[in-house]
Amino acid sequence: MIPTSYYLILAALIFATGATGVLVRRNALIIFMCVEMMLNSVNLTLIALSRQWGNLNGQIFVFVIMAVAAAEVAVGLAILIANTRHRRSINIDEINLLKW
């Protein structure tokens, strides 16, 4: 059996990669994908700890997170499309209408 810590380290690596992608990239679509990746790495953590403690609650939590992620993708992509209609760009440096 594989120790739970291995999974935690892998999840930390994926999460850090996704966070770095959010900070470094300027394409809104790629930032979106990086956010999805971070959500998934947290799912991996929850499932690993669910096995560690022999408790099903973590898996239920992951199920709910998946549904929320699906809702987030639908709304987020609709916002991106609506923004592209107005500005002809998905560079987040140019999406600054609400910036102070």
For other proteins, the binding residues in 69-98 under the rule CB under 8 A are 69-75, 77-82, 84-85, 89-91, 93
Q: How many chain residues interact with other proteins (CB under 8 A)?
A: 71
Rounded Cα–Cα distance for residues 80 and 90 (Å): 7
Give yes or no for residue 64 binding other proteins (CB under 8 A).
yes
Tell me which residues in 4-63 interact with other proteins (CB under 8 A). 4-10, 12-21, 23-27, 29-30, 32-34, 36-37, 40, 43-44, 47-48, 50-56, 59-60, 62-63
The residue (of 93 and 100) whose beta carbon lies closer to other proteins is: 93
Rounded Cα–Cα distance for residues 28 and 17 (Å): 16
Query: Quick one: which of 40, 36, 38, 44 has its CA closest to 9?
Result: 44
The alpha helices in 1-100, defined as continuous H runs, are 4-24, 28-52, 57-87
Amino acid identity at 73: V
Give yes or no for residue 2 binding other proteins (CB under 8 A).
yes
